[in-house]
Amino acid sequence: MAESIGTFALVFAGTGAIVINDASGGGITHAGIALTFGLIVLAMIYAVGDISGAHLNPAVTCGFWAAGRFPIQQLVPYVLSQCLGACAASGVLKLLFPAHQTLGSTLPAGSGMQSFILECILAFLLMFVILNVSTGAKEKGITAGIAVGAVIALEAMFAGKISGASMNPARSLAPALISGHLEHLWIYLTAPLLGAVIAVFACRGCREATCCPMPFK
């Protein structure tokens, strides 16, 4: 329930900012959209971080599993909960703004490979920060909330105009399914997962093995 509600809030506020920005003729601005994504993640970490860890992202959950910090038995329930919450948020936005064509879907501005590489690096940086500020598989506390929210806002700010700065398969899957824009979805399902797993090995290289005790445990 915590992961579903948290991911609902992320997609509703984040992609909702994109939809409302379009509907209002750019009233929110690109910077406002980036800050919305960062702030809603920060808020949800404080709200449910002590319950579920506030992953809100299948790539983060898979990254914690690859780091040996998360049991494989909970992997599928977490991912399904995140996707359910995300799809519910996109469904509500579809009811509120039926004329909007993309509902905030992540679509590459350039080539698919350009966005794939960008998304991989963005997810790598996000997961690297999360692994270094979290305890176990939990993102709870002042440091974690500010750091994770800030890196999401930062990455959305500079890369959002090119790749959409998704970093999150659930965030991309939901608006794509509800709006029917599935043509580039593969980028946003695979690149964040790859980047998150690479971050695990980078963390192990920077810190003691106890940081990520056993990949793919």
CATH code of the domain covering residue 95: 1.20.1080.10
Q: Residue 31: inside a domain, yes or no?
A: yes
What is the pLDDT at residue 139?
63
Q: How far apart (Å, rounded) are the C-alpha atoms in residues 165 and 195? A: 13
pLDDT of 210 > 90? The answer is: no
Burial class from Cβ neighbours inside 10 Å (0-12, 13-18, 19+) for residue 30 reads middle
Q: Residue 72: inside a domain, yes or no?
A: yes
**pLDDT tens digit sequence for 142-190:** 678 899 999 999 999 999 999 999 999 999 999 999 999 999 999 999 9
Residues contacting 80, CB < 8 A, separation 6+? none
Residue 11 domain boundaries: 2-211
Q: How far apart (Å, rounded) are the C-alpha atoms in residues 24 and 99? A: 13
Asked if 6 and 83 count as a contact pair (C-beta separation under 8 A), the reply is no
DSSP code, position 24: T
Q: How far apart (Å, rounded) are the C-alpha atoms in residues 45 and 68? A: 21
Q: Give the pLDDT mean for 80-97.
A: 98
208 confidence band (pLDDT: 50, 70, 90): low
Q: Residue 65: inside a domain, yes or no?
A: yes
Q: Residue 73: inside a domain, yes or no?
A: yes
Percent of the chain's residues with pLDDT above 70: 92
What is the pLDDT at residue 35?
97
What is the pLDDT at residue 135?
73
Q: Residue 40: inside a domain, yes or no?
A: yes
Q: Residue 68: inside a domain, yes or no?
A: yes
What is the pLDDT at residue 143?
77
Task: Kindly give the interhelix angle for 142-163 and 29-52, rounded to the nearest 10 degrees.
Answer: 140
Q: Residue 53: inside a domain, yes or no?
A: yes
Q: Which two tokens stand for residue 19?
A: 């939809």
